[in-house]
Amino acid sequence: MSDIAEIKIDGKVYEFPIITGTEGEKSIDISKLRELTGHITLDLGYKNTGSTKSAITFLDGEKGILKYRGYPIEQLAEKSNFLEVAYLLIYGDLPTEEQIVTFQSKITKQTLIHEDMKKFLDGYPSRAHPMAQLASLVCSLSSFYPESINANSSPEAMDHTIIKLLAKLPTIVSFIYKKGLGHPLIYPKNKFDYVSNYLHMTFGQRTEEVEIDPVVVKAMNTLLILHADHEQNCSASTVRMVGSSDCNLFASVSAGIDALWGPLHGGANQAVIEMLETIKEDGGDTEKWINKAKDKNDPFRMMGFGHRVYKNFDPRAKIIKKACDDILDKLGINDPVLEIAKKLEEAALSDPYFVERKLYPNVDFYSGIIYRALGFPTDMFTVLFALGRLPGWIAQWKEMHTNKEPIGRPRQVYVGHTNREFVEIEQR
């Protein structure tokens, strides 16, 4: 098979190397295209554009394969825990027992946030969206740790910032939740593991220590693992793009949180529950809503359906659907929107509109039902996604810096006015 691609422009043939990834995927290296031909490529939404070479996550959208550092997502979801997966993503290999103990202990020592950060929380209106608070608070960490601002400091300093962010995010997330309720904040406890500590700060009370249900711990671990990375999606690309200007980790991840918020990305988990609630209140006629989703004159989209890359099934959605049944069963919860979700899925999967466009449930279709069963309010769902995605964002930022990638700066095809003469305002 050829390792050269030819592009013919005005009768002249130019050759470009074909690069093959370790999983066999092919790309044409066009880094010399403009220099050689004077042309650039145009690819709205970067549907065919590789922005980097990465060794973190592999996914095959046609076959429904997802692997972190070579390990299938199914194995990690079943056998691992979130902290171990975070280590794997950030450092490249599964930790030994000694490495995970050290990692956990370094994190445990950094879980408190500066008391002054609580003043920011006080300043937000009580109904402020948690994602707005999260992005600002994470960016604000860089003001408390000025040594983190130099993104090119030593590997030890970079690691210190990474540990700080991993340690403080659960505290920030649970403080945002408690603030939303108007309840007193609960501080971290060193005796707990990463996920249990987060649950303690979220559902604990000052008056008594609540018992942490192992079923809930397992469910949270699974959800966080499934969200931990997804290669060059909108938020990860944002983190890399912002980081490519040598911007610090806290600010780069804050930008990623903003990118995640939109309903076409991580905000879909909130949008799915709101959609299912609307359908329920409207009488539960799933056919009517399927028809609305198909109607091009109707702005309604079936939230939690479709994916830019998965065109067969989303392996995360398969695991989450099963986990959803298990958890609701174990917790003895009967959520009527689960029935509506299943009916919608069944109807959509046999409808030619969805079949032809290869639209399947994505990771967000069932995750909100689990979050709800665990007791989270709807506007916290995307924040939980961010908590899970953090190791992925860190790994992407670290890889980009370690590989010394150049600043991200796409080109454009200019289609605006050419020369115009300025006219004084009275004469316009």
- Is residue 253 within 8 Å of residue 394, measured between CB atoms? yes
Q: Are strands 4-9 and 57-60 parallel, antiparallel or unpaired?
A: unpaired
- Is residue 229 within 8 Å of residue 68, measured between CB atoms? yes
Q: DSSP 3-state assignment of 105?
A: helix
Which of 266, 315, 368, 392 is in the footprint of ligand ACO by CB under 6 A? 266
**Closest Cα to residue 232, out of 57, 411, 44, 75?**
57
Q: How far is the CB of 100 from ligand ACO (least distance, A)?
A: 28
Query: Does position 304 bind ligand ACO by CB under 6 A?
Result: yes
Query: Does position 388 bind ligand ACO by CB under 6 A?
Result: no
List, in order, residues 6 or more apart from 308 with CB less than 8 Å away: 45, 47, 233
Query: Does position 307 bind ligand ACO by CB under 6 A?
Result: yes
- Is residue 347 within 8 Å of residue 394, measured between CB atoms? no
Which of 162, 317, 363, 400 is in the footprint of ligand ACO by CB under 6 A? 363
Catalytic residue flag (residue 364): yes
Among the residue ranges 70-78, 284-292, 360-368, 408-416, the one whose residues contact ligand ACO (CB under 6 A)? 360-368
- Distance between CA atoms of 52 and 71, rounded to whole angstroms? 21
Among the residue ranges 217-225, 239-247, 304-312, 372-380, the one whose residues contact ligand ACO (CB under 6 A)? 304-312
One-letter amino acid at 78 equals E
Which one, 106 or 265, has the nearer CB to ligand ACO?
265
Query: Does position 160 bind ligand ACO by CB under 6 A?
Result: no
Q: How far is the CB of 309 from ligand ACO (least distance, A)?
A: 8
Q: How far is the CB of 387 from ligand ACO (least distance, A)?
A: 14
Residues 245-264 that bind ligand ACO (CB under 6 A): 264
CA torsion angle 132 389 19 12 (round to 10): -20
Query: Does position 306 bind ligand ACO by CB under 6 A?
Result: yes
β-strand partners of 308:
none
Among the residue ranges 52-60, 302-310, 390-398, 416-424, the one whose residues contact ligand ACO (CB under 6 A)? 302-310
Residue nearest to ligand ACO (CB): 306
Q: How far is the CB of 300 from ligand ACO (least distance, A)?
A: 8
Number of other CB atoms surrounding residue 13 within 10 Å: 8
Residues 173-212 that bind ligand ACO (CB under 6 A): none
Q: How far is the CB of 362 from ligand ACO (least distance, A)?
A: 4
Catalytic residue flag (residue 114): no
322 Ramachandran zone, left/alpha/beta (phi>0; psi -120 to 50): alpha
List, in order, residues 6 or more apart from 35 with CB less than 8 Å away: none
Considering 200, 227, 307, 401, which one is annotated as catalytic? 307
Query: Does position 311 bind ligand ACO by CB under 6 A?
Result: no
Q: DSSP 3-state assignment of 72?
A: strand
- Distance between CA atoms of 204 and 357, rounded to whole angstroms? 45
Which one, 58 or 192, has the nearer CB to ligand ACO?
58
- Contacts with ligand ACO by CB under 6 A lie at 264-266, 268, 293, 301-308, 357, 359, 362-364
Active-site residue set: 307, 364
